[in-house]
Amino acid sequence: MKTNPLYEKPTTATLPVTADQPLNAAVESANPPTQSVASDETYALNRRLALRLATLTSPAVAIPLILVVGAVLFLVNLGGAPIYTKGEAREAVTVFDIAHGGGVILPMRAGVEIPSKPLMMHWLAALISLIAGGVSAWTVRLPSALLAIAGALASYLYVRRLFEARSALLAALILPTSIQYLQAGTGSRVDMTLTFFLTIAFFEFLMVAEGLRSPPIFFYLAVSMAVLTKGPVGALLPGIVAFIWIILCWRWSLLRRIQLLRGALILGVLGGGWYLLAILTGGEAFIHKQILAENLYRLTGHAGVNEGHAHPFYYEDAALLAGFMPWTPVALIALVQAIRRRRRLEPRLGYLLVWFLTVLIFYNLPESKRGVYLLASYPAVATIIALYLGDAITYPDLTARVSRVIALIIGLAFVLIGGAAAIGLGLLYISPATLNDILAPIRIIVAELPTALRSNVTHYLPIAIALPIIVLALGVFLLRARPRADKIVFAITGAMAAIALAVSLIIQPALGNSLTVKDFAVSVNQTAAGMPIGYFGTVDYAFAFYSGRDLDLINDRDVNPPAYIVCSDDGLRLMPPAMRSHYTIVLTSHPTELDGTGVMYLLHHNAI
């Protein structure tokens, strides 16, 4: 049997190795310590651990486990909170337009503007909405949720095939429980759809390069779907990663094997076909908004164009550290393991590093930055960490001290979170005003929030009591348990699942119901009773979504003023006095922002 150069120091194992038993575990079982009773006991303990992990990481167990964890994280009460954030509403109103006959190539968002991204996520959500019988918060979020679960499952399958089963399961648990991934998987945004297709594209290229897949049809299909999700970046990132890796590994023969002409044809027909139709439909306006403003100008900058999300060069690095929580400190265990027992930098591991660093550097270059852009690097980061955590399970002595410190830190954090949640539950019933006083310094000024939270807690009372206890108990477990990488991973996964349940069942619906304009939009339609409604000021996509009507934007120069006008508090302040004098406020919404602003008004013309 050939020795596998997994580490710089070669091993002498002679046992066969399967996908369900990592090489280093087989090496340990082939060379048991026999120097003492204590070492015999340690060997027996390690062997039992290896057998348990081999069972747990097998597809028959791991795949159902990943699906269950994914369902808890992303599907439970997915539609429990109404649409209330600007980002979600902006995409939801596009889905609404597609499902209600606004066109599938280039629907006008709320009837007033061209969508800023290609429409793959919107097509999926519209299809689900048509099957479900209507567009709702649940149907527009479901594509992100399903693709988030599929991304975790794909990571397990690819990492198991390319590396080893133990690390595959760890990666599939680390990825979906990171904060940024969890957030993107429960919202109606395009980011998770892009992340899924890029994940497939990145892994598929490595499969082709390593001779595990031929021809590269899945690679080009995934790239095309990524382009149809968020534009040229869907092809640019996999292309850059592939080219850099080919140069570093000197694998020029791959240029012939990956069939570039066939790939260009697939990409041109699928991705380019939609762009051609969109240009024919939207003309110069589409070219300026989607091709120039959303892509070229974000990278190069342009005078007079506000790209938004402007941040300093180091912003994405800080965003990665924050977005990958609670696994950011766990990465230190992997780092110590990598230093003390280095893996040979073979091509597959090198590819993961190129993948991660390329995405990070790429999104550091533009002035416009968002932490969610780095989601494309998360599968690579999760896999790298999982590989070294797998080694740390086999060689626990190398990382025992740092594992203990990390377990104490994370355990203490979970104890504090669980304890704070329990205190918060008590305050909801004993002194709701005190909760408002606690939230006010961090600019959460929503008078209805304690009432909404209490209502949700009462509805899910047994679960609401159990979840803080679970988080607190897992924190205590980490504080008291013998530090081992697998224990840390499983404990964090359990705690994050409990926290995610608390958010989806109690916190998010309370926030949504306290801040949404849903009830206001329904009341506006009832009050107007079919009469014309104009909209003054900055577009509110949530109002457009829940009112079910395109917005008729007006200004003070309109010679035929509408009977009713809807505007926000900012719009009301900016309305010229001469125009304002002709209208009376007849409906007022509650605040739509956490700081107590964002009130919306329905105005009625005095002479109509």
Q: Do 36 and 134 have their domain in common? A: no
pLDDT tens digits along 55-79: 899 999 999 999 999 999 999 999 9
Q: Do 87 and 114 have their domain in common? A: yes
Q: Do 129 and 179 have their domain in common? A: yes
pLDDT on residue 3: 37
pLDDT on residue 88: 95
Examine the pLDDT at 388 and tell me if it is beyond 50: yes
Q: How far apart are CA 52 and CA 65, in angstroms?
A: 15
Tell me the pLDDT band of 296, cut-offs 50, 70 and 90. Answer: low
* 297, amino acid identity: Y
Q: Do 547 and 411 have their domain in common? A: no
Across the strands, what pairs with 343? 7
pLDDT on residue 551: 87
Q: Do 76 and 41 have their domain in common? A: no
pLDDT on residue 27: 37
Percent of the chain scored above 70 by pLDDT? Answer: 89
pLDDT on residue 484: 86
Q: How far apart are CA 193 and CA 67, in angstroms?
A: 18
Q: Do 467 and 556 have their domain in common? A: no
Examine the pLDDT at 25 and tell me if it is beyond 70: no
Asked if 24 and 394 touch (Cβ cutoff 8 Å), the reply is yes
pLDDT tens digits along 179-213: 999 999 999 999 999 999 999 999 999 999 999 99
pTM of the model: 0.91
Residue 73 lies in a domain: yes
Lowest-confidence segment of 13-22, 471-480, 573-582, 596-605 by average pLDDT: 13-22
- The DSSP code sequence of 335-369 is HHHHHHSPBP--HHHHHHHHHHHHHHHHHHSSSB-
pLDDT on residue 420: 95
Domain boundary among 271, 292, 309: 309
Q: Do 11 and 72 have their domain in common? A: no
pLDDT on residue 50: 75
pLDDT tens digits along 482-492: 878 999 999 99
Residue 107 lies in a domain: yes
Asked if 161 and 212 touch (Cβ cutoff 8 Å), the reply is yes
For the chain, the domain total comes to 4
pLDDT on residue 282: 85
Q: Do 7 and 138 have their domain in common? A: no
Burial class (CB in 10 A: 0-12, 13-18, 19+), 25: buried
Residue 383 lies in a domain: no
Residue 136 lies in a domain: yes
pLDDT on residue 299: 61
Tell me the pLDDT band of 12, cut-offs 50, 70 and 90. Answer: very low
Residue 339 lies in a domain: no
Q: Exposure pattern of 455-490 as b/e (b: 16+ CB <10 Å)? A: ebbeebeeebeebbebbbbbbebbeeeebbbbbbbb
- The DSSP code sequence of 503-542 is IIIIIHHHHHHHH--HHHHHHHHHHHTT--EEE-SS--HH
* 53, amino acid identity: L
Domain boundary among 269, 287, 309: 309
Q: Do 45 and 77 have their domain in common? A: no
Q: Do 141 and 210 have their domain in common? A: yes
pLDDT tens digits along 116-171: 889 999 999 999 999 999 999 999 999 999 999 999 999 999 999 999 999 999 99
Q: Who wins on pLDDT, 314 or 499?
A: 499
pLDDT on residue 295: 66
pLDDT on residue 10: 35
pLDDT on residue 145: 98
pLDDT on residue 42: 58
Domain boundary among 258, 277, 309: 309
585 three-class SS:
strand
CA 434 and chain centroid, separation: 33
Q: How far is CA 426 from CA 475, 486, 499, 510, in A?
A: 20, 34, 18, 17
Q: How many residues does the chain have?
A: 608
Mean of all residue pLDDT scores within the chain? 88
pLDDT on residue 243: 96
Task: Give the pair of three-digit tokens for residue 386.
Answer: 């999982």
Tell me the pLDDT band of 51, cut-offs 50, 70 and 90. Answer: confident
Torsions phi, psi of 168, nearest 5? Answer: -60, -45
CA 298 and chain centroid, separation: 21
pLDDT on residue 250: 94
Tell me the pLDDT band of 301, cut-offs 50, 70 and 90. Answer: low
pLDDT tens digits along 512-546: 999 999 999 999 999 998 888 999 988 899 999 99
365 HSE (CA, 13 A, CB side): 12
Across the strands, what pairs with 565? 534, 603
pLDDT on residue 7: 36
Tell me the pLDDT band of 24, cut-offs 50, 70 and 90. Answer: very low
Examine the pLDDT at 29 and tell me if it is beyond 50: no
Residue with tokens 């066939």: 262
pLDDT tens digits along 398-447: 999 999 999 999 999 999 999 999 999 999 999 988 888 888 888 888 88
Percent of the chain scored above 90 by pLDDT? Answer: 71
Could you tell me the residue range of the domain that residue 6 belongs to? 1-56
Taking residues 563-587, report their average pLDDT: 93
Residue 356 lies in a domain: no
Q: Do 419 and 439 have their domain in common? A: yes
Q: How far apart are CA 229 and CA 190, in angstroms?
A: 7
Q: Do 225 and 137 have their domain in common? A: yes
Q: How far apart are CA 468 and CA 420, in angstroms?
A: 8
Residue 344 lies in a domain: no
Residue 181 lies in a domain: yes
pLDDT on residue 472: 97
